[in-house]
Chains A and B, each alone.
Chain A
Amino acid sequence: MAGSDLVAVNERERIERIQAGLKKIKIEYSTIQKAQEVSREVSKIDVNKLLKPFTI
């Protein structure tokens, strides 16, 4: 096998190893709950600030 072919085979094996690891990732319900909690958190702001106009 030529050197460049060997590099390609090694690269393919490396990517397959990554893909096998990624397949195990599951989005749990707790992550969704956390996401919604953060979404609520970043939409909280002092209402008085929101009424202040952008004057500059």
Chain B
Amino acid sequence: MIIEKYNTFIGHPIDRIESVIGKSENAKYIQGYLRELRATFCIEEKNYVDKEFLIDYSMFYARSFEDINKYTTRLHFFKTDITETKIFEIMENFNKKDYREAELKKLNDNYLGFVVVKPVSGSDKQPLLGRMLLKPYPHEDRDELREHLKQIYPVSLYGLPLTIESLPFQMQDQSVGACATTSCWVSLYALNNLFGTSIHALAEITETSTTFPGLNRNFPSSGLSVFQIKNFYNSLGLETEFLDINPKIIAQYGEKYPVIPILVKAYVDFGLPILACINLHKNLIQTPPDYEQHAAIISGYRHKNGEVKELYAHDDRIGPYSKIEPASTDPKKLFIDWKCGWLNKKYDEENNKTFSNVRVESLIIPIYPKLRLKFMDIYVIFRQVIKDANNLDPNMSYQLILKEINGYKLFLLERKFPDKKKILMRRFPKYLWIIRVSSNNTVVNDKIFDATCNYQTGDTFEDIYFN
């Protein structure tokens, strides 16, 4: 296999990417997503060295009999056409500061991210899509807002420094890891941002997880169990919070502030990924139930005045930012059953049968060990505050917030409240759970709890009433 030493500029309209990314369901999803982002143009970077794939290559593909290339193709997407002449012009004039800054700003404003295409195929004989950093859906959507786990990543296109704000994603590559491995991989980027934990490739995650043994093969991966997922996070020095989404228990906490949306808001706003373990039911009424198990990362949500309308998942069998609506509008069951891309997927091609229901079985949240006060502990207190304050005013709303102290003190600095200096000078724990009471979008009270304690007793850590 001869690899060209020098690349030539390859740029083309977005509708021609099928020849590179193929016709898999994943590729079709990416094409659709790029259309929603209004992508029009693509630059193709041949023989790109992708560290993630290189590690998977060294741990698995290198020992395959088949002749597999270790280089990938990287596709960069833009909202406008970029010519070879323009790229060369920027390269030539890069030493002129004003010109450089203006041109890079234009490039960055139109940059939507990239997708790495691996030189290996899935069982459908279509190329596997590797690491991708694509811009999320816009923050604003008419009178609603979207919140996503994301951070800014530098990208080099022929040396030109670009940036993209995203949460990395890749499609399933079953040789080195199934859905739970990919979910762990996605979560690592958010965790690295929060706690400085290390990043690992798919094969490394599978290898570490399976030191807790399962009955199936480790490689090619047959999927991880909950214990293996926990084992992986523990190996990073993290704890995990596990919630059994038993509809009977969860339904006790229905009405206006149900468990799943409150949990998603609290953890996603903090920057924590939520690993959703879901059951894909073939027939919901059958006993015993016939279902497959799948895992995905809840990476964002859309809300109207704090009320969650839609979730977004990085799902390795569907795509990044895949939309999830609640299957039932019953507030007691909100987001326990999902209306999402899985309902269109066939589990039996021959008989044309699709999954009939998607149900959240449990949630796993990898957390820093010092975050000791469990979500359900504080959630019950949150419910109690709402219940006790029920008749105070019809315009009140409540939020459960997880916050790191430095960020919270910045919030306090901008506000007026009694004993402001005394409270700002007080020693606080590193992490706080806050029950925030607002009225007509004005924050009136923060009830603060020490998130680093085992359980909350007696009074709140601090109780601030804003002027």
Residues of A whose CB lies within 8 Å of any CB of B are: 11, 14-15, 17-19, 21-27, 29, 31-32, 34-36, 38-39, 41-45, 49-56
Contacts and interface: CB of A to CB of B under 8 A. Distances in A.
Contact of B214 (A19, A42, A49, A51): A51
B222 A53 contact: yes
Contacts of A29: 457
Nearest to B457: A32
B269 to A, nearest CB: 21
A8 to B, nearest CB: 12
Contacts of B389: 18, 21-22, 25
B361 A49 contact: yes
Which residue among B246, B280, B377, B379 has the maximum number of chain A CB atoms within 10 Å of its CB? Answer: B377
A43 B244 CA distance: 6
A35 B455 contact: yes
A43 B392 contact: no
Contacts of A26: 459
Contact of A56 (B244, B317, B361, B381): B317
B31 to A, nearest CB: 23
Interface of B: 178-180, 214, 216, 222-228, 242-246, 249, 277, 280, 292-295, 317, 361-362, 374, 376-381, 384-385, 388-389, 392-393, 396, 437, 439-440, 442, 444-445, 447, 455-460, 463, 465
Contacts of B388: 24-25
A19 B10 CA distance: 63
Contacts of A22: 389, 392, 437, 444-445, 447, 465
A55 B393 contact: no
Given A17-B393, A22-B444, A54-B179, A43 B243 contact: yes
Contact of B178 (A11, A18, A54): A54
B293 A55 contact: yes
Contact of A39 (B280, B377, B437): B377
A10 to B, nearest CB: 12
Nearest to A22: B445
Given A32-B455, A32-B457, A55-B223, A27 B293 contact: no
A54 B437 CA distance: 39
Given A45-B362, A53-B222, A54-B224, A27 B396 contact: no
A15 B459 contact: no
A35 B380 contact: yes
- Can you list the 6 inter-chain pairs with the closest CB atoms, starting with the nearest? A53-B223, A35-B380, A55-B223, A21-B392, A56-B294, A35-B377
